[in-house]
Structure 1
């Protein structure tokens, strides 16, 4: 496998991971909407007597979503570092520096004209 094929496979895997993360976020948004509707209908001043209990109940419900978003953010940051490494034009100057050598033929390189 050549270096270009390895870079292509890596970028393809990153694209698939981004698609899967988008699907996870879409499902979580749908779930959050259902939770919001349920909370609006069932969590009232009659069901929870004081403000502190109301706040702690809401925090327990939303804590899982916050943890998921934090995890996905860390995953995106790692993927971003991987893509920067592959696509950085300042990497190996004699090797073309990541994919910048491949992109020269497609208008991705530096051109003054």
Structure 2
């Protein structure tokens, strides 16, 4: 397999991964909306005897949201590295960002 074919496969895998991530994020957004609705309707000062307990539960939810954001950030950084490697290879061949560096066919050269 040629280097161009390997890079094309790498980019194809990256595009498929991005599509799957979009589907996951769509499901997460729906789940987050349900959680938000539940929290707005059920987490109030009336539900807690002590304000400290309400703050504690709010911080737990906040920490979970931060973990999701950190995970997405790491995933995005990894995907960016793949695209940078492919673009660097394309520029080294003189193709620029969009012109002529890749042969998208399935044949080995």
TM-score, normalised by the number of residues in structure 2: 0.77
In the alignment, which residue of structure 1 is the partner of 2:99? Answer: 104
CA RMSD of aligned residues (A): 2.4
Unmatched segments (≥5 aa) in structure 1 = 107-113
| Cα pair 2:90 2:97 within 8 Å, conserved | no
d(CA) in 1 for partners of 2:84 and 2:72? Answer: 18
- The alpha-carbon deviation at position 64 of structure 1 amounts to 2.4
In the alignment, which residue of structure 2 is the partner of 1:52? Answer: 52
Matched, 1:70 2:65: no
| Cα pair 2:90 2:96 within 8 Å, conserved | no
d(CA) in 2 for partners of 1:89 and 1:4? Answer: 9
Deviates most, 48-57 or 16-25: 48-57
TM-score, normalised by the number of residues in structure 1: 0.75
| Cα pair 1:21 1:72 within 8 Å, conserved | no
Q: How many residues align?
A: 101
Unmatched segments (≥5 aa) in structure 2 = 102-109
